[in-house]
Each structure stands twice: as C-alpha cells, then as structure tokens.
Amino acid sequence: MRPIFKLPGRSSIDCVASWLGDGTIGVLLSSKQFEQGFYTEKEAAIIGTTFSAVSITFSLVVIETVGLGHMFIPFYLTVSVAGLVAAIITPRIPPLSRKKDSYYRGLEGRDVKIIPPGYTIFSWGVNQALNRAKQNTSVTTFLKEGIQNVIDMWLGVVPVVLAIGTLALMLAEYTPIFQWLGMPFIPLLELLQLPEAKAASQTILVGFSDMFIPSIIASATITAPITKFTIAALSVTQLIYMAEVGGLLLGSKIPVSIGDLVIIFLERTLITLPIIALIAHLLF
C-alpha cells in the first residue's frame, strides 16, 4: 500500500471492507481511523475517495441491469484494472496531492510503520491481530457497538440515497440537463469508437448523483452491448456518488469539500473511460 498508493498498510483493511461489504462501510471505517489518529488528512482523503469501492455483490446487480450478467467475470476484472490505475494516479495529482500530512486535531500519529527486531512482516501482523482480538472480551459489547454503527449508517445513508437518487432520476427522465452536461463527452466517446455515443454521453455525469442510474438509463436507451458494458463499468469505477459515498464523505471528518469531489469524479472518469473502452473492444 505504501509504495504504490502512498498509504499505510492498515488501509488495506478499509479496501477489503469496501470490496466485500460496501463503500459506505469503507468510509465509516476510514473516518473512525482518521479521528483516532491512524491516518493523516491526506491519507484519509485518498482512502475515502479512492478505495470506497462498490461491493462485488452490487457490481453483479449493475451488470445484470444492462443485460450482460453472463460477462460478470470479465466485467469485474475490467473494473479492477481501471480502478487500480485510477488509484495509482489520483493520489499523485491535485486535489489529493495537496492535502496536508497532518493528523486530526493535532493528534500524534498512531500508525506503526516499523517492524520490531525478531519479527517478519507476517509474524508482526499476526501479533497485532491477536492483540486487537484480546481487546474484544465481551460478545454483547461487540454486537451492541456493531448494531449501533449499522443503525447510524442506515439513518445517515438511506434518506440521502432516496432523496438524491429520486431527484437525479427525475432530472434524467424529464429534463435535458444531463444531455447538455454530457455533450462535451460525445467527441471522446466517438474517438474511442463506441456506438451510440450521444445516448451514452448523458449517462456519464449522472453517475455523480447516484451510481445505479447510468445502468438504468443505458438499459433503456442503448442497444450496443459494448457501450452498455463500458457505461456499466465506468459507473462503478467513478466511485464518487453523492447519494452514497460522496454524502458520507461530506458528513464525516475526512477533509474533502464538494469541489474536491467534483474534480476527483471528473479525474476518475477521464482516467478510467479509455481503459474500459480499450478492454471492451478486446472483449466484443
């Protein structure tokens, strides 16, 4: 994690939690770690905007929605490759590269980067895991804290998802606003030789409001399988959705603004779209 993504090794746990659970879980976990002094402002911002990925299970729902469920494995491999490239590039360019390397409210950093003498990476990891496990001595307390976290997340996420998702779908269905916003992407889509570029362009920016809406629109307005595949994969790799991850990030202590999220969303779109289109041409 450190040499490739400029992050502490413990951030791999946040990444796995997002992939196997959900991006909202990753944001919640990262925010708590940041408040406890394990991440700097820059590290927390990178983790929250780069590794709060869509879960594997919901990725299956996305590709099923566009009618290409039989291609789930190449689809998810494509998402993984494009996401990996974006994760390498975005921390090295603004706005993430300009975040401060300071800890929350002046806390002293608690991340242990040095392996003590007599330990290997693996044995030290096992030692840390066992020490952490010893802190949980009560099953009742563990379940109580877990339920509280889940309720907090539900109360914080579900209303935002319903409100922003419904509003975005209404704007996409009954107004031409996303058609106008997507027009600058038509030349890029045509350059990438994707069929139905005009119809595809209106799905690109709507993903900023909600991750699922581009696939819904694509399933109804696009017939070319290669374009459906590209839009579905792009919607997953864009990652910054105001109805979910974006809303949670703004409500957390992680130092990102709405302007940061807009820029990162566009950066991820421009980085991952050519990669996804190239792989799509190899598959179709």
pTM: 0.86
Structural domains in the chain (count): 1
The helix (run of H) or strand (run of E) holding residue 13 is helix 11-20
| Secondary structure percentages of the chain, helix, strand, coil, to 5 | 75, 0, 25
Per-residue model confidence as pLDDT tens digits over 25-47? 778 888 888 888 888 999 999 98
pLDDT tens, the chain, 284 aa long: 888 887 888 888 877 877 776 777 778 888 888 888 888 999 999 988 888 777 888 899 999 999 999 999 999 999 999 999 999 999 999 999 999 888 887 777 666 667 888 888 889 889 988 988 888 778 888 888 878 877 876 776 677 767 777 787 788 778 888 889 889 999 999 999 999 999 999 899 888 888 888 999 899 999 999 999 999 999 999 988 877 788 778 878 888 988 999 999 999 999 999 999 999 999 99
Q: Is the peptide bond before 95 cis (omega within 30 degrees of 0)?
A: yes
pLDDT, residue 153, reads 67
Q: How many CA atoms lie within 13 A of 166 on its CB side?
A: 6
Q: Which domain range does residue 187 map to? A: 2-283
In the numeric block, which tokens belong to residue 263? 């820029």
- Return the SS3 of 103: strand
* b/e 20-33 (16+ beta carbons within 10 angstroms → b): eebbbbbbbbbbeb
